[in-house]
Amino acid sequence: MAALGSPLRTWRGLLRELRYLNAATGRPYRDTAAYRYLVKAFRAHRVTSEKLCRAQHELHFQAATYLCLLRSIREHVALHQEFHGKGTDGERGNEGRFRGLLTSTYASS
């Protein structure tokens, strides 16, 4: 089985990503359908008398996968805007791309 870590950590990560997503709209993340669905799903899988619950593990896996999706999209967009976005187009923009390489190789120039 995949090493997922603690469900609480996944839950906190999901809340953080939902907060980021809704920060721009100004709407509280608790009003979103995604939040309500996740709360319902996590609560439903707590109520079980089985000690080893495959459904619980599946839910955690899906939650962790969704967290990975939200987090990696956010980081991808941030990298896109920093290095590949329209604000850095034209000749000037290319300086940003080589910033790390050139300045470290030709530090004195």
Partner 1 sequence: MWRSCLRLRDGGRRLLNRPRSGLTASEGLGRKPPIPFRAYVPPAERKKFYQNVSISQGEGGFEINLDHRKLRTPQGKLFTVPSEALAIAVATEWDSQQDTIKMYTMHLTTLCNTSLDNPTQRDKDQLIRAAVKFLDTDTVCYRVEEPETLVELQRNEWDPVISWAERRYGVEIGSSTSITGPSIPARTREVLVSHLASYNMWALQGIEFVVTQLKSLVLTLGLMDLHLTVEQAVLLSRLEEEYQIQKWGNIEWAHDYELQELRARTAAGTLFVHLCSESTAIKHKLLQG
The residue from 7, 15, 16, 32 that contacts partner 1 (CB under 8 A) is 32
Q: Does 94 engage in binding with partner 1 (CB under 8 A)?
A: no
Is the separation of the CB atoms in 99 and 107 below 8 Å?
Answer: no
Percent helix, strand, coil in the chain (nearest 5)?
Answer: 75, 0, 25
The residue from 65, 95, 102, 103 that contacts partner 1 (CB under 8 A) is 65
> For the stretch 18-43, what's the b/e string if a residue is b when 16 or more beta carbons lie within 10 angstroms of its beta carbon?
beebbeeeeeebeeeeebeebeeebe
- Give the nearest distance from C-beta 108 to partner 1 in angstroms: 20
- Give the nearest distance from C-beta 92 to partner 1 in angstroms: 15
Long-range contacts of 8-13, Cβ-Cβ distance < 8 Å, separation of 24 or more:
10/60, 10/63, 10/64, 10/67, 11/38, 11/42, 11/63, 13/67, 13/71
The residue from 12, 30, 69, 102 that contacts partner 1 (CB under 8 A) is 69
Q: Which 4-23 residues touch partner 1, going by CB under 8 A?
A: 4, 21-22
Where along the sequence are the contacts to partner 1 (CB under 8 A)?
1-4, 21-22, 24-25, 32-34, 37, 41, 57-58, 61-62, 64-66, 68-69, 72-73, 75-77, 79-80, 82-84, 96-97, 100-101
